[in-house]
Structures are given as C-alpha cells and as structure tokens.
Structure 1
Amino acid sequence: MPDATDRRILRQLLADPGIANAELAERAGVTPASLWRRLERMRETGTIRATESRIDWRRLGYEVEVSLRFTLDKTDPRAFDDFIAAARRVPEVTEIQTFLGSVDLRLSVIARDMAHWQQIYRESILTLPHVTDSDALMLVSTIKDVQELPL
C-alpha cells in the first residue's frame, strides 16, 4: 500500500505526467535517488502500469465522437469473442468496454465529420456480428474528464 510519500509522488505524476524526475523529486520532497527507488517499486508492484499520452482527437481532425451501446445474442457462445475481434479491426474504435446488465458492450468511435461517421457506421458498425440491439449517443461536450483519484 502506498505511503504518504508515494501518494505525493502519484499526485504530482497525475497532475503533470511529463514532469522531469528532478522536478518530481523536488515537488514530492524526496531525493532523486529515493524517487527513482520508489518509482521502480511502484512499477514492479503494478501501482504504476504505464506512462501514457492522451491524444486530443479533435486537434487531429476528428470532430465527431459517438458512444455505441450493444446488446448481443447470448445464445451463441462465441458472440462476445466474435464481436470484440471484429470491433478491434475498426480503426476508428478507440475504446471497447464490457458490462453486466442490459448493455453488453460499449464502443467509443471517432470520425472526421458526419459523412465519415455515416461511412464508418454503414461499412463497419452495422456489420458487427451477433448484435440484437444497439443505441448511439453522440458526444456534444465533455464537462469533466479526469484520470485522478483523491490520493
């Protein structure tokens, strides 16, 4: 379990993932050597799994984001595996999630514009296997998007 110093380090990493180790050590109140040991331990234990970049798709020309919810035909034992394999092959699918309840899966899909969305929908989404029901929600705005937990 992370101690108070580990939590300070994690808070700083969440606030500024690209921070240099020297600056991180200073902000967390530890020496660079201590910081290195703590980071290595947190990586080894899986507390820190990766340092990742978050891409703003809109800045790359993808103006449309759609969340699709699917219910699958659960009488077919391959339904989930087949659906997920097919969804992974759609380049514009940025996220695949599975759920318990009336919705089985959710896909996040990005498109350059509405014409591109229609092309993706007709050529890739409608052809996904084992779908018994689907629902689409188009993103209008993001009010809160944080990856932080209160540490």
Structure 2
Amino acid sequence: MSGFNPNSKTLAACIAELEAFRKARGLDDKAIITSLDFPDIWRTKELSVSNVPGGFNKIMLPFFTDGPATFYISSAGPYVKVPLHSHDEGAGIRVIMSGSIMYEDKELEAGGWMYLKAGAPYQFTVGPRGVSMFYCYRCCCA
C-alpha cells in the first residue's frame, strides 16, 4: 500500500478530541446542533484533519454516535488520486454530495455511495468536476 495511512489515530482518541471541542464550545450533549452553529468550521483548525491525500481538505464534524463512529466532510479538485489504503479499525460509508469519484472503472456521482468493510483496501480518483463527500467511519480517520 501507499504511504497514506488513515489509521494514525484510534477512534477513542478522535472521540476525546471531539469531547474536548464540545466542552470548549460549551455544547450541551442533549442539544440538537446544525451546521449553522459552526459557521467557521472550515476556517478554524480545531477540527481540521491534516492526514489526507494531497489535494484534499477535510474536517471532522463535531459529533459522534453512541455506536461509536466519527463523521467527516471532504472535498478535492478534479483528478486527485487517493492511493490504495484501508480503514482497519472499523467499517464506514462514503456518500458523494457533489461531483464524482471513479472507483473500479465506475463513476459514483452525487447521491451515490460506497460501503467500506473494515480492512478492505481500496483507492479512487476524483472525477472531472471535483468532489464533495460526507462519510462516517467506525474508526478514526484523522
């Protein structure tokens, strides 16, 4: 596999970061939160993720489930290649919000999704219009 390794932190470490973020922001664990509560989330470094393939921007969303799992939004320009890698600590799902990715000679477009089994190696290339994705992992991919 390539030098990219999304398994650099444990799920527990990422959840601890999220708990510290929520405490610092005074968030009630029982309150509903929306993207409008965090208008600066893309500009602040607090939840930004640096362990990503070149050409990607990624943030960890400020919540996790009882499952546990962590949630992300990422984007990249056209034709960025994500090298072969796996998410070893748990399964996940990736949903294309806009643009597309090429996976095994198939183009997944907006509304398309892929389920990732824990430890299953995969790679993809961003399509010609770039991509924005939402994803959730039962691991920490920060």
Give the alignment's TM-score, normalised by structure 1: 0.28
Greater share of residues in helix? 1
- Flag the structure with more relative contact order, 1 or 2, with Cα contacts below 8 A and sequence separation at least 6: 2
Q: Please say which structure displays the higher CA radius of gyration.
A: 1
